[in-house]
Amino acid sequence: MKKIQSIIHFLFFYCSFTFGQQLPQFTQWTSHQFSMNPAHAGIKNCLDIHSLYRTQWIGFEGAPKSGFLTFSAPMNSLRRHALSERHGMGIKFEYDNIGPFSSNRLNIAYASHFNFTADNRLSLGLYAGFVQFNYTGNQITTIEPDPTISNDISFIKPDATFGAWWNTENYYLGLTIQNIFRSKWDNIGNNNRFQLHTNINGGTRLTLRKYYAFIPCFLMKIPPTGQVVVDLNLLFNYRNKFGLGAGLRNTNAFLCLVNFKINSQFSVHYSFDYTTTSVNPGTKNSHELSITYNTCKHREIGTTKCALFE
């Protein structure tokens, strides 16, 4: 318990004075782009549902636990011509808990998709909703009583994220800007607030044969201050039924990812982070498990494809 309290103390004051990372971190971002980028709302011509649970720093009391549930679907609209814009909507619920801090976010997404050619598309989207932030001060122990951190606090603030997405048949680039409102944390510390966070990600598909493809990809997370976090992944796809991946996070982890289809609608994804930190052996274990469902009409199983490019 003392170790997790020490970490919480550090995180609290780090956020207070340098505005460090305030958002949950997920390893399976490649399989759940809509959870990060609202420009993916309705990008597929079907209902798309994703759920994920992440547990981190196993072995520590008060260790981080995060997850989300998303729904996305295209909006029915008549096209004036073959390459005119399409529209999509979606909804996302996300929660994050670490020690005395917890948050719940509920956002509605809208996106427009502009096809310049049959294979070149620009998508722009916006998340809008609210975040409920909770702080349980009695979980923090200080040498002397400090009224700025010892109270139990709960408040609700507006929340918004802007997203942009460009893809061709074989590569993609994405941009998100989160915490647009930069709302102040009520009665927690002296000058704490939500800060802008920027994500940039991209990838390309390298088809070897009809049944095989490799997808190298990256995600760069840029906090307002502090170290930029970069995930570098290499994913392997076999006949659209099985996927395997490995990756590196520049700050502290090696990544392993695996996914497989149960049937044409359901998929299961699992990832494991081996953390290189020396804080405690228990922190080396972080796990994610997710289940996805969609109503898309899939191509024949012999054609290797990537849903990111559709």
pLDDT tens track, the chain, 310 positions: 444 444 444 444 443 333 345 789 999 999 999 999 999 999 988 999 999 999 987 777 778 899 999 999 999 765 566 667 889 999 999 999 988 889 999 999 999 999 888 788 999 999 999 999 998 876 666 666 666 566 778 899 999 999 999 999 889 999 999 999 988 887 776 678 889 999 999 999 898 887 889 999 999 999 988 889 999 999 999 888 899 999 999 988 999 999 999 988 999 999 999 888 766 555 568 899 999 999 987 655 544 555 565 5
Give the E-state strand segments of the chain in sequence order: 48-55, 65-74, 86-98, 101-115, 121-136, 152-167, 171-178, 197-204, 206-207, 212-222, 229-238, 242-249, 253-261, 266-275, 285-294
What pLDDT does residue 276 have?
A: 82
What pLDDT does residue 284 have?
A: 64
Closest CA to 285 of 105, 1, 54, 129: 54
Residue found by looking up tokens 């049959």 in the block = 118
Confidence (pTM): 0.85
Dist CA 193 CA 37 (whole Å): 22
Task: Copy the structure tokens of residue 7.
Answer: 């970490």
Residue type, 121: R
Asked if residue 198 lies in contact with residue 177, where contact means CB atoms within 8 angstroms, the answer is: yes
> How many residues are present in the chain?
310
Asked if residue 125 lies in contact with residue 163, where contact means CB atoms within 8 angstroms, the answer is: yes
Angle at 24 between CA 295 and CA 221, to 5 degrees: 95
Asked if residue 33 lies in contact with residue 308, where contact means CB atoms within 8 angstroms, the answer is: yes
* Main-chain phi, psi angles of 26, to 5 degrees: -125, 140
Which burial class, exposed, middle or buried, applies to 82 when counting CB atoms under 10 A from its CB (0-12, 13-18, 19+)? exposed
* Main-chain phi, psi angles of 276, to 5 degrees: -90, 0
What pLDDT does residue 172 have?
A: 95
User: What is the set of domains in the chain, with CATH numbers?
Assistant: 2-309 (2.40.160.40)
What pLDDT does residue 5 have?
A: 46
